Structure 1
Amino acid sequence: MKKLLLLVFFLACIVNVFAQTQKDTILNTFNKDYVLNIKKAQSAITIDGVIDEPDWMAAQKADDFHKVLPIDTGLAIQPSEVLMTYDDKAFYLAFTFYDTVQGKRIMESFRRDFVFGNNDNFLVFFDTFLDQTNGFTFGLSASGAKWDGVMHGGAGSNLNWDCKWESKVKHYENKWIGEMKIPFKSIRYPSGTKMWNANFSRLDLKTNEKSAWAPVPRQFPTSSLAYAGVLKFADPLPKSKIMFSLIPYLFGSFSNDYEAGTGNVWKKDFGFDAKVGLSTSMNLDLTYNPDFAQVEVDEQVTNIDRFELYFPEKRQFFLENSDLFADFGSKTATPFFSRRIGLDAPVLAGARLSGKIGNDWRIGFMNMTTQKTSNFLARNFTVASIQKKVFARSNVGVILVNKEYIDQPVDTSMFNRVVGVDYNLASANNIWSGKFYYHRSLQPDNPGDQYSQGALLSYSTKNIQAIIGQRSVGENFNAETGYITRTGYHHISPEITYLFVPNKQIVSHGLTLETNFYFDPDFNRIDQENAATYQFEFQDRSNIKIGYNSVFIKLQRDFDPTHISANYLPAGTEYNFGHAIVSYTSTRKTMFNWAAEAAKGTFYNGDIQYISGRFGYRYQPYINLSLNFNYTDINLPQPFEHAKLWLVGPKLDVTFTEKLYWSTFVQYNEQIDNMNINSRLQWRYQPVSDIYIVYTDNYIPGSWNSRNRALVLKITYWLN
C-alpha cells in the first residue's frame, strides 16, 4: 500500500509540474466573438410563456441561428430568438421559435429528459467554469417536457441528473415560445463570475433542420463546448450559498421467488439521499439504504458474443461528475464500472465527494459499502481520482480503485486494487481528440503482467473522420470493480471514413473502412475483423448503410456461439467467416417511424442470418408505442442444434400529464428462456419528488409459470 501511495503522489507531482508550465495559457472558446450581454432584471419575471415583461423588452437577442444539419453553411430557415436575464436568486431564458414552414410540431411526450431526435426542441449548454469540458444542459420540447443533465467530456450529457426549475411553453399559429427559470443554487459556478460559455440549439423536424446560435461544424453535436459562445453578465453573479438537499424515501415491497421457494416476502424500509454543496464547485453526496427499484429496466439483447455484455449505469447517485470515476481507460477495459456495486448485494451506505478545486483541478472520491448476503461477504468499494486540466481542453488524471472484504482476516485474496493514469487529448477546435493511459492491478499473490495500457487518436472534419486505437491488457490484470472483457491480448484498430456532402436529396454519402487486430502476448494473431460500409443520409435525416464484415477467430477458450447448447467449439480451433449487412433508419418526423438491420452469411463453421429493428408509433404527446425485435438463425453442424432465437420487446409509454407517467415494457427472450414484464407508474407530485409503483414478473415461456414477481411502492420527497 505504501508503494501505491508513493506512486499516486509521484504521478500527482508530475501532473503539477507539467501544469505549472501551462499556467499562463489563455483558454477561450473557439466562438469567442459570439457574445450575448445579459442585463440584470429590474422587476419580477413571471414564467407563463408570454414574453411581455420590461426586462425581456430590454434584453439583447441571440438570433441569426446557423445551420448545423443537414449542412453547416448559412443561416437557419426557421428564425429563432433567445433572451436571458437574471436576478439574485435565478437566471431566466426565453425563446421564440418562428415557423416559416407549415406543419405539425413534433412532440413525442411529456416525459422528462425526452429523446432529442424525436422532438422539436430547444436546448442550452452552459460551461460555467469555462473549462470547455464540463457543464450543465437544460431544454424544453414542444410539448413542454423538461430536459436537464450534467455535461462531461466536452459534449456528452448525462440526463439522469435532475434539479428543480420552472418552465412554460405556449403555442401560436406561426411560432412557439418557452420560458425557463433556473435557480442559481441548482448548479455550480465560480463565485463572483461575470462570464460563462454557452450555446443555444434548436431542432425543427418539419424542416429536418438543426441549428445553433454559435456555429458548430456538422460533424460535431451542438453540445460541443469547444464551439460555445460567450455570455457576459452585467454584474457579478450572486455568491453561491451552501446548498443542502435531503431526499428521504419510504419503500415497501412484496416479492415471491417461486424458483427458489422463498414464499411471500414482505418488506418495508426507509433511506435517504443527501447533497451538500461544500463550495460553489464541490459536492458531497450521501446515501443510506438506497433502493433503486424505480430505475428503468435494461433493454435485453441476443448475445452471440464471447464476452460480457455492457449495460449502462442509470442510478442517479453514481451519475453527477461520473466521468471522474468511469471515464478512465477504454470502453472495454475500464478500471471502475459502478454497476459492480449493489447489483449482487444491497448497498448499505455510501458517500461521494466530487467537483473542482480552482479552475484547473477536479477531484473525486467515492466510498460504498454493500451488505452481507447468503452469497457474498460484506464489501467496501473505494474510488479516488484527481484530474488536472492542461493545454486548451486536455487533462491528466490519476485513479485508485480499492475493493476489500469487511471484517475478514488479512489475506492477499481479500482485496483488489488498481491504480492508473490517463491523458485525455482534446484540441481547441475539437478536430483532434484522443486518450493515452496506463493502469496496473496490485495483487501480490498474482505476479506477472498486471497492466492495462491503451492509446487512441481521432481526427474529425466535415469530410474525413479517422481513428487509430491501440490497447494491451496483461494476462494477470485483475480489475474486479471494472469492466474488462478479456485479458492477455494486444489490439490495434485503424478506421477511416470519407464523406461526400453534395447537399441535395442525398445530403451526404461515403465509405467507412475499419480493421480490428487482436494478438496474444507473443504477438500471434488470434482475432481479426475487417468491415467495409457505405452510408447514405437523406434530406429527411433517414439513412441507409450497406456493408460486409469478414472475421478470423482463433478461440482462446471453449465457446458455444448460441449460448443455449451443452456443446462447444474447442479452444485452439480457427475459423474464417463473414456476412453482408444492410440497415435503414427512417425519418423521425412522421408519427410512424422504424429502423431495421439484416445480415446473412457464415458464422464460425456454420451459417447465420438475423434481422433486428424497432417500430414506433406516437399519438403525440400522450402515447408512444414501440416494438424492439431480433430474430437470429444460427445453423452450426452437428452436434449443435439449429438455433432460432426470438427476442421481442413491446413497450407502451403513456404520459398523461407533465407529472404523471406510466410505462410497461415486456421482453420475451428465447435465448434465456424468459419473459419479463416491468410496469412502472410515476407521479411527480412535487418538483423532483415522486411516488413510484413498480411491478415486475418473470415467466417461463411455454408453461408460463411465474419464476418470480415483485411489487414495489416508493415515495421520495426533495427537501432543500
Structure 2
Amino acid sequence: MLSNRGSGISRLGSLPTNGGCHSSKLRGRKSVGRAMTRRCRLTAIGLVLAVVPTGVWGQEETDSATDAVRIFEVARATSEIDIDGVLDEPAWQEAVVIPLLYEYFPGNNIPPPVETEGLVTFDDSWLYIAFRAHDPEPGRVRAHLMARDEIDTFVQDDHVTITLDTFNDERRAFQFRVNPLGVQADAIFSEVDGIEDYSWDMIWASAGKLTNEGYVVEVAFPFDQLRFQKTREAQTWGIELGRSYPRSSRHRITDSPRDRDRSCIICQFNKISGAGLRAWSPVAIWSSTRR
C-alpha cells in the first residue's frame, strides 16, 4: 500500500509518473504511439446516455441474476476530456452514472461493501470509460507500481476491470484492468475455454488518482485498435464494468448480476448501443504482440 496519495498517469512503454498519459506500446502501430506520447489531451464530442439503471446504494436486497440485461443507448454531445484521473470535464458531469450493484464473489449477487460508479462516452475516434471507486477507508487502498501485465501481482491490488464483447457474439471479449495508479493489464477472454490471454497487448490510455474518498480511474480506447463488425448500422456491444476490492476477502463487484448456474459469463453482460458508436473496423488485432 502506498502512503503518498496522488495520481498515476502512465506513459507509452513506461511506469506511471507524475505527468503525461499512460498508453501501452504495440509494435507496428507507430502513428498511434506518436500521437499518444505527443499529448494527453483527447477530444470528446460529449455524450448523451439514455438509461435508467436499477437499484440504489444502501438497498437491503439486490435482485437475483434473473434481472434483464440493461441496454445503455449512447449518443453524442460536445465536450473535451483529459485523461488525467480527474473527472472535471462537462462530458463526465453530463454522463449517466452506471452503478456497480452486485458482489458476485464471495457473496452471490449481494449488495457490495463499497460504492462504485462507472461512466461511458465516446467520440469519432475514442471510447472513454471512467470509474469513481469509493472507499470508507481510503488509506487501505492497495496500489503499487509494476510492469504491465504482471497479473499475479496486479490482482493483489485494488483495481477496476472493463470487458468488451465488441462483436456481441458472447464468445470472446477484450479485457482491460487498471489499478489506482493507472497501471495496465490487458487480455483476451475466451468463453470457450475460460482463459484470459495476457500475451495480447493493445494501445490505450489510462490514468488513476488516489483521493480522500477512494480512487478514480479514467481510460480511453482508440476505435482503430478494437475489432468489431464492419457495418453502417448502429453497433451493439456487450460490456461489463467490474471492481476488485481486496480486504479480508477479494470482493468482486460488477454492474450486472452473475448467475452461478449458467455456464457462460459474457452472455450475462449489459449492452451499450447507439448510432454514434463507430460503424467500421479498419484494423483487426487479435494476434499476440509482446513488449
Q: For residue 41 of structure 1, report the CA deviation from its aligned partner.
A: 4.4
Q: For residue 32 of structure 1, report the CA deviation from its aligned partner.
A: 4.2
- Out of 133, 139, 152, the position equivalent to 2:190 is 152
Distance 1:50 1:284, change over 3 A: closer
CA distance in 1, matches of 2:266, 2:180: 24
- Out of 112, 126, 130, the position equivalent to 1:76 is 112
Contact 2:109 2:257 in 1 (8 A): no
The SS at the match of 1:226 is: helix
Contact 1:133 1:225 in 2 (8 A): yes
In structure 2, the residue matched to 1:167 is 206
Q: For residue 220 of structure 1, report the CA deviation from its aligned partner.
A: 8.0
One-letter amino acid of the structure 2 residue matched with residue 195 of structure 1: T
Contact 2:80 2:90 in 1 (8 A): no
Structure 1 residue 188 corresponds to structure 2 residue 227 = yes
Structure 1 residue 137 corresponds to structure 2 residue 175 = yes
- Out of 32, 36, 42, the position equivalent to 2:78 is 42
Distance 1:241 1:187, change over 3 A: closer
Distance 1:284 1:125, change over 3 A: closer
Deviations 1:553-607 (A, max 9, x none): xxxxxxxxxxxxxxxxxxxxxxxxxxxxxxxxxxxxxxxxxxxxxxxxxxxxxxx
Q: Which structure 2 residues correspond to residues 564-579 of structure 1 after superposition, within 5 A?
A: none
Structure 1 residue 213 corresponds to structure 2 residue 213 = no
CA distance in 2, matches of 1:207, 1:41: 43
Quote the sequence identity (%): 22
Distance 1:218 1:55, change over 3 A: same
Distance 1:41 1:160, change over 3 A: farther
In structure 2, the residue matched to 1:364 is none
In structure 2, the residue matched to 1:661 is none
Q: Which structure 2 residues correspond to residues 444-593 of structure 1 after superposition, within 5 A?
A: none
CA distance in 1, matches of 2:286, 2:209: 38
One-letter amino acid of the structure 2 residue matched with residue 37 of structure 1: E
CA distance in 2, matches of 1:118, 1:127: 25
Distance 1:148 1:169, change over 3 A: same
CA distance in 2, matches of 1:284, 1:176: 31
Contact 1:31 1:229 in 2 (8 A): no
CA distance in 2, matches of 1:241, 1:131: 16
Contact 2:200 2:286 in 1 (8 A): no
Deviations 1:279-327 (A, max 9, x none): xxxx697xxxxxxxxxxxxxxxxxxxxxxxxxxxxxx36xxxxxxxxxx
One-letter amino acid of the structure 1 residue matched with residue 166 of structure 2: T
Distance 1:174 1:240, change over 3 A: same
In structure 2, the residue matched to 1:229 is 270
In structure 2, the residue matched to 1:127 is 165
The SS at the match of 1:143 is: coil
Q: For residue 130 of structure 1, report the CA deviation from its aligned partner.
A: 1.4
The SS at the match of 2:107 is: coil
Contact 2:100 2:241 in 1 (8 A): no
The SS at the match of 1:93 is: strand
One-letter amino acid of the structure 1 residue matched with residue 220 of structure 2: K
Q: For residue 98 of structure 1, report the CA deviation from its aligned partner.
A: 0.1
Higher strand share: 1
CA distance in 1, matches of 2:85, 2:93: 14
CA distance in 2, matches of 1:139, 1:284: 18
Q: Which of the two has higher C-alpha Rg?
A: 1
The SS at the match of 1:57 is: helix
Contact 1:77 1:100 in 2 (8 A): no
CA distance in 2, matches of 1:207, 1:36: 34
User: Which blocks of at least 5 consecutive residues in structure 1 are unaligned?
Assistant: 1-28, 244-276, 278-282, 286-315, 318-687, 691-720
The SS at the match of 1:112 is: coil
In structure 2, the residue matched to 1:347 is none
Question: What TM-score, normalized to structure 2?
Answer: 0.68
- Out of 49, 62, 65, the position equivalent to 2:98 is 62
Distance 1:241 1:220, change over 3 A: closer
Deviations 1:335-380 (A, max 9, x none): xxxxxxxxxxxxxxxxxxxxxxxxxxxxxxxxxxxxxxxxxxxxxx
Q: Which structure 2 residues correspond to residues 242-641 of structure 1 after superposition, within 5 A?
A: 242-243=282-283, 277=284, 316=288
The SS at the match of 1:196 is: strand
Distance 1:78 1:207, change over 3 A: farther
Distance 1:73 1:163, change over 3 A: closer
In structure 2, the residue matched to 1:52 is 88
One-letter amino acid of the structure 2 residue matched with residue 210 of structure 1: R
Distance 1:231 1:284, change over 3 A: closer
Q: For residue 127 of structure 1, report the CA deviation from its aligned partner.
A: 1.0
Deviations 1:487-518 (A, max 9, x none): xxxxxxxxxxxxxxxxxxxxxxxxxxxxxxxx
Q: For residue 71 of structure 1, report the CA deviation from its aligned partner.
A: 1.0
CA distance in 1, matches of 2:286, 2:207: 32
Distance 1:48 1:130, change over 3 A: same
Higher relative contact order, chain-length normalized (CA < 8 Å, sep 6+): 2
CA distance in 2, matches of 1:121, 1:240: 31
Deviations 1:66-113 (A, max 9, x none): 011111142111000000000000100010000024542123442212
Calculate the aligned-residue CA RMSD, in Å: 2.7
Question: What TM-score, normalized to structure 1?
Answer: 0.29
Deviations 1:411-440 (A, max 9, x none): xxxxxxxxxxxxxxxxxxxxxxxxxxxxxx
